Amino acid sequence: MEIEHNYEFFEAIDGSKLQNFTDYIDQHKCFQDLGRLLTAGEVGCWLSHKEIWEEMVAKNIEEACILEDDVLLDNNFNTILNQFSALITEKSILYYLQKNSVSNNEAFLPLSRLPHSKNYSLGIYKWPGFGTQGYIINLSAVEQILAKINLFSKPVDNFLIHIWNHKVPIMNLSPTIVCPVDRGSELDPDRNEAIININLYHKSSICLMRISRKLRYFFWFLHQYGIIKLILLTTCKKPVKLHNFIKS
Higher pLDDT, 227 or 48: 48
According to the model, what pLDDT value does residue 243 have? 39
Distance CA 97, CA 131 (A): 11
Higher pLDDT, 225 or 191: 225
- Averaged over 178-189, what is the pLDDT? 63
pLDDT tens digits along 147-162 = 999 899 999 998 998 8
- Lowest mean pLDDT across 39-48, 113-122, 183-192: 183-192
pTM: predicted TM-score of the whole model, two decimal places: 0.80
Mean pLDDT of the chain: 79
According to the model, what pLDDT value does residue 246 have? 39
- Averaged over 92-121, what is the pLDDT? 76
The 63-67 sheet, strands edge to edge: 63-67, 134-138, 94-96, 170-174, 121-125, 108-113
Measure CA of the first residue to CA of the last residue in the chain; give whole Å: 32
Higher pLDDT, 54 or 204: 54
- Averaged over 199-203, what is the pLDDT? 62
Distance CA 162, CA 68 (A): 21
CA atoms within 13 A on the CB side of 9: 3
**What is the Cα 20 distance to its own chain's centre?**
27
- Lowest mean pLDDT across 47-51, 176-180, 212-216: 212-216
- Lowest mean pLDDT across 60-74, 81-95, 225-239: 225-239
Give 239's contacts (C-beta < 8 A, 6+ positions apart): 105, 106, 107, 108, 174
Residue 54: pLDDT above 80? yes
According to the model, what pLDDT value does residue 37 have? 86
How confident is residue 118, by pLDDT bands cut at 50, 70 and 90?
A: confident
How confident is residue 206, by pLDDT bands cut at 50, 70 and 90?
A: low
Higher pLDDT, 243 or 193: 193
